[in-house]
Structure 1
Amino acid sequence: MRKAVIDLGTNTFNLIIAEVDPDRFELLYSTKIGVGIGLGGINNNQLTPDAQQRALDALKNYKKLCDEYQVENITALGTSAIRDAENGEEFTRKVKAQLGIDICVISGETEAELIYNGVLWSYDFEKPALIMDIGGGSTEFILADQNGIRKKISLNIGISRIFQAIETEDPLNINDINTIEEWLDNVVRDQLDGFESPILIGASGSFETFYEMIHLKDYEAQSNCYQFDTEELHNVLDWLIRSDKAQRELHPNIIPIRKLMGPVTAVKTKWILKKLNVRQIWMSPFSMKEGALNWDTEQ
């Protein structure tokens, strides 16, 4: 069956179109748009009118692409910004009325399960690992081995939340970095106890950007996980933290929404790597959207 999955992320809307069988899929098309649906309202549990319009414009584009590819089934998944917004249901009704797309707003727990299902296409968990998906509204952590998920949690420590909660300089100064780390300490507290892992798998998203910055080229779709050189990754994270907006604007391998929030993402990533005693860092090309290809929204 030809299926499409739309991941309505807080920062980025992702679309994939694939031919799907029970045990495999063939990717036909993928794209992403930095909608920023959480900008201006996520910390007040609101989707602003401007954010909703950007979202509708992106979804109109995606609906047209689905029609062109003769997609038989569209799964559209609403995540952190939409599920927490007081006007989230109003937005989903608007999308249904204007575009005929049913948005299934999922819990953080379900999001974590789908992320695991996606990464499972690319990693066999012969060595246990911690999956992390850095979202704009939430971040999911899934500790897994060959028997499946050991522990999972979704925390509202997404990049857009931090970016809008803390006023920072450009570039970040030491006080900004300390403030971001203190914010994370205060929100996370002991909720990640027991999630320590020597191996961390970053689920696409920001980790694709890190890859593209290291290699100075677009990430080429493949089915296996990629292992980062730890020093190269930390060099990229440190560059992002030191950079100003003008420098990031000139970088061809950073998408616009990450030009805005990249330094905060880098501080948070380094904080997590240290907190969870990570020694090896991998990237899976797959995440929630691939995990949803064989998922029934009615379950």
Structure 2
Amino acid sequence: MENNSSYAVIDLGSNSFHMMIVQVVAGSVQVIGRVKRKVRLAAGLDKDMNLSNEAMLRGWECLNLFAERLQDIPSQNLRIAGTATLRLAKNVDVFLKKAEHILGHKIRVISGDEEANTIYKGVAYTSSSKQKRLVIDIGGASTELVAGEGDIPQISNSLNVGCVTFLDKYFPNGELSEQNFTDAIGAAELEIGQVRDLYKDFDWQEEVGASGTVQAIQEILIHQGHDERITLPRLISIMQQAITYGSIKRLNIPGLVQERQQVFPSGLAILIAIFRQLNLVGMTLAGGALREGLLYSMLPHLTKQNVRERTLNSVMTRYHVDEEHANRVAELAMNLANQVSDKWDMEQFGALEILRSAALVHEVGLQVAYKDQQIHASYLLANTNLPGFTEAQKNLLTALVRNHKEDIDQSSLSKQSSTSVLLACRLSRLLRLAVILSLRRKDEAMPKVIVTVENETLKLRLPENWIGKNPLTEAELGQEASYQAAQGWQLVIE
């Protein structure tokens, strides 16, 4: 019997073939299967733009693996897209005929513009930001540059520049030299230069990368002790590291996974060219791309709600969180934060929204056990896909949840790349107070609280006679002052 809640998308890329299978659970997308194989289809294009039999065979062998899982997916819940290499190949019909026979479904070879726009939507539908953004996707045989606002792409281009096609052309025999990088960067800059002026007046607020190259670079940066932000100086530094190895076979940059090793230098060269031509300042990794764009085209009802709200609602439903109480704690946490916002600069890094999110999901650990619930909650969230949150935002969220009660784990608060450690500590202190003051889980039992701060001293003023009528909360606040004092923070209860 067909499962109508299951969906599949297949991306026949120039470097890899990907299949993603999902279910819609509690109003959110849950990935239940992924299969990825390096097919390197673009490497099989000859000078006349014909695919070699060997390359087609690699593709067909991969599709045989995919076909088994597709037997359980309704045809209306499936999207299969071919990209740059299949657009370029003159003998594409030969490949498609057998490929469609293997899969039992039609394959759409999409245009460069459609690919660019679908990538943009995949980024937008997995991000909570509504700002103007520039999206970059470096594929095996093409690179997409898309500028847009919200979920609407406005300027899109697909260039014949890719990490597979550039590999053999500019890094012959896998040699890594300064000259090879210079040649590859220069060639990519020539292509990008032809469309550069289309973007110069767009004035985007964020730069997002949606490719394996960008993910690999971010992993290297974090492994080497940096935050997740990709900048031109950092790219140049990674390039210099790569050159020291002399050969792709010996390439062993700390943080680079072996799977990306082969096409990493060419992808890096293309990204450096993009940064130079478009004057980029800081790029982060997207939560989605082409596959997500294809997926959400089948799920339009999920695109109408803010993705972060959709994620939070789904997490609360799946872990049976007391929604009324979660909103009570969130409202109080925001109230406290707003009272100290001027002196503690709570507006930076979107911190208030992360504080609210942490308050909403702080009790997910109760589904495991009451004891150490904050540890359980942090683990569950850290290992849950959270669309709408970048990795850095997710790290801050899990750190706040980890520290919403009992002993303060300073190490988790110190591992922040999206915000300052000081701000993470301040957010944690406010969340902890909101949890304690909501202890009775009733709106009418909540005190009207005034908080003030002087440097890192936090003063909490409660209504007259309230403390005497609530001895348990008084004891909890006294214990909390001790927890915070152990970290060198002063909490004064008045």
Give CA-to-partner distance per residue, 1:231-283, whole Å, 9 cap, x none.
Answer: 65554444335432233369784344x32221111111112112111112110
Give the C-alpha shift of residue 20 in structure 1: 4.3
Q: What is the Cα deviation at residue 104 of structure 1? A: 0.8
Q: 2:215 is matched with which residue?
A: 208
AA aligned opposite 1:108:
G
Q: Which stretch shifts more, 90-99 or 205-214?
A: 205-214
Q: Distance in 2 between matches of 1:39 and 1:61?
A: 21
Unpaired stretches in structure 2, ≥5 consecutive residues: 299-494
Counterpart check, 1:26 vs 2:30: yes
Residue 257 of structure 2: aligned partner: 254
Distance in 2 between residues matched to 1:251 and 1:43, nearest whole Å: 36
Aligned to 1:277: 279
Indicate how the Cα distance of structure 1 residues 126 and 108 shifts in structure 2: closer, same or farther if over 3 A, else same. Answer: same
Larger radius of gyration: 2
* Separation in 2, partners of 1:234, 1:185: 15
User: Residue 90 of structure 1 corresponds to which residue in structure 2?
Assistant: 94
Alignment of 1:12-161 (within 5 A): 12-20=16-24, 24-41=28-45, 43-67=47-71, 70-72=72-74, 73-146=77-150, 148-161=152-165
TM-score by length of 1: 0.84
Which of the numbers 164, 176, 190 marks the counterpart of 2:168?
A: 164
Closer, same or farther: CA 126–75 of 1 in aligned 2, 3 Å = closer
Instruction: Name the CA distance, whole Å, in 1 between partners of 2:255 and 2:52.
Output: 29
Q: What SS class does the counterpart of residue 15 from structure 1 fall into? A: strand
State the 1:118 CA deviation. 0.5
Flag the structure with higher strand content.
1
Mapped to 1, the partners of 2:136 and 2:111 lie a distance apart of 16
Q: Which residue of 2 aligns with 1:228?
A: 229
Give 1:127's aligned amino acid: Q
Contact persistence 1:163–1:264 (CA under 8 A)? yes
Larger mean CA deviation between 36-45 and 151-160 belongs to 36-45
Given residue 86 of structure 2, which amino acid in structure 1 is its aligned partner? Answer: I
Q: For residues 254 and 42 of structure 1, what CA distance do their matches in structure 2 show?
A: 29
For 1:113 and 1:147, the matched residues in 2 are separated by 10
CA–CA distance in structure 1, aligned partners of residues 151 and 291 of structure 2: 22
Unaligned runs of 5+ in 1: 218-225
Q: Which moves more between the two structures, 11-20 or 124-133?
A: 124-133
Cα shift at 1:198: 6.0
Change in 2 beyond 3 A, CA 1:33/1:237: farther
Considering fraction of residues, name the structure with more helix. 2
Residues 170-195 of structure 1 deviation map (CA, whole Å, 9 limit, x = unaligned): 44223222221332233333212232
RMSD: 2.7
Instruction: Give CA deviations for 1:106-129 in whole Å, capped at 9, x if unaligned.
Output: 001110111011101232443321
Secondary structure of 1:240's aligned partner: helix
| Secondary structure of the corresponding residue to residue 82 of structure 1 | helix
Q: CA deviation at 1:284?
A: 0.8
Does 1:186 find its partner at 2:187? no
Q: Which has the higher contact order (CA 8 A, sep 6+)?
A: 1
Structure 1 vs Structure 2: percent identity of aligned residues?
Answer: 24
Q: Distance in 2 between matches of 1:238 and 1:275?
A: 20
Normalised by the size of structure 2, how large is the TM-score?
0.53
- Identify the residue that residue 221 of structure 1 maps to in structure 2: none
Counterpart residue type for residue 49 of structure 1: N
